[in-house]
């Protein structure tokens, strides 16, 4: 049985979480309402800023034309593939760097340079090497997400409690035992935080790739809309991207909650 004070504390947490959710939802509603009011009273030019009503009409039009879900599926598929590959490659490379300090010191400046390099500048090279296809889009997304994943997870490995590390070493634990018994459990929060960043970076990379080569996907819709000066289509694509990003973010949060139960 919980004590009366503990029950009050749990109710307070629930009320706070509910208030946070209502506040988040209210901000979205107020933004949409203000946007529509400004458009209705012609305080903004709907030709360059569109309006919620026009965006909704555009989305409904895409649905009726049977184009909407195919574009969404392509973008989500490319994002998930690049996210999964980027996460796996990032963890493996970060593990190698932690395992071998010599390799870590040799590659450190290269990782920093690659991370600061504008990946879109490599777009034409990627297209020539990989081809103007979905593969080049996934490679573009990988270039953006995998470097950040490597750096963040490797940093998390290095920030493990040194006292615990020395204690395991004093008991002559092998590197394998230290890695699985200490490093991974201690870096769990860092890995989850990296996943949250990685999913957004993967989506950014996919959209950048679709801007360059794709004939399908949300990025293609946005690029096509800008080329024909259809700002309703552009804003519809942006709104859909926001929804996709939110769903993916909360998916990672759900995975985090499921894993923290065990």
pLDDT in tens, 208-247: 888 888 788 999 999 999 988 899 999 999 999 999 988 9
pTM: predicted TM-score of the whole model, two decimal places: 0.86
For residue 68, which of 80, 52, 57 has the smallest C-alpha distance? 57
Tell me the average pLDDT of the chain: 89
CA–CA separation, 193 vs 30, rounded Å? 30
Q: What is the pLDDT of residues 150-181, one digit of tens each?
A: 999 999 999 988 899 898 988 888 889 999 99
pLDDT at 3 over 80: no
Predicted confidence band of residue 1 (pLDDT cuts 50, 70, 90): low
Q: What is the pLDDT of residues 90-120, one digit of tens each?
A: 999 999 999 999 999 999 999 988 888 887 7
Cα 63 to Cα 68, 70, 128, 208, 254, distances in angstroms: 5, 10, 34, 24, 29
């Amino acid at each position: 049985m919980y004590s009366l004070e503990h029950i009050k504390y749990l109710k307070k947490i629930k009320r706070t979480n509910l208030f946070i959710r209502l506040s988040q939802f209210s901000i979205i509603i107020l933004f949409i309402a203000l946007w529509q009011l400004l458009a209705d009273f012609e305080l903004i030019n709907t030709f360059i800023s569109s309006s919620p009503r026009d965006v909704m009409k555009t989305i409904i039009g895409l649905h009726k034309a049977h184009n909407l879900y195919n574009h969404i599926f392509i973008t989500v598929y490319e994002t998930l593939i690049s996210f999964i590959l980027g996460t796996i490659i990032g963890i493996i490379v970060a593990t190698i760097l932690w395992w071998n300090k010599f390799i870590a010191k040799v590659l450190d400046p290269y990782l920093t340079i690659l991370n600061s390099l504008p990946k879109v500048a490599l777009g034409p090279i990627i297209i020539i090497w990989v081809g103007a296809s979905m593969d080049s889009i996934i490679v573009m997304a990988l270039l953006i997400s995998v470097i950040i994943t490597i750096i963040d997870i490797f940093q998390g490995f290095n920030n493990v409690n040194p006292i615990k590390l020395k204690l395991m070493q004093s008991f002559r634990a092998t590197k394998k035992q230290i890695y699985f018994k200490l490093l991974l459990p201690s870096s769990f929060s860092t890995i989850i935080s990296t996943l949250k960043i990685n999913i957004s970076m993967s989506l950014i990379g996919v959209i950048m790739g679709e801007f360059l080569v794709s004939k399908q996907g949300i990025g293609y819709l946005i690029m096509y809309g800008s080329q024909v000066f259809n700002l309703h289509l552009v804003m519809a694509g942006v709104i859909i991207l926001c929804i996709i990003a939110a769903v993916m973010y909360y998916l990672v949060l759900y995975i985090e909650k499921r894993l923290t139960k065990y």
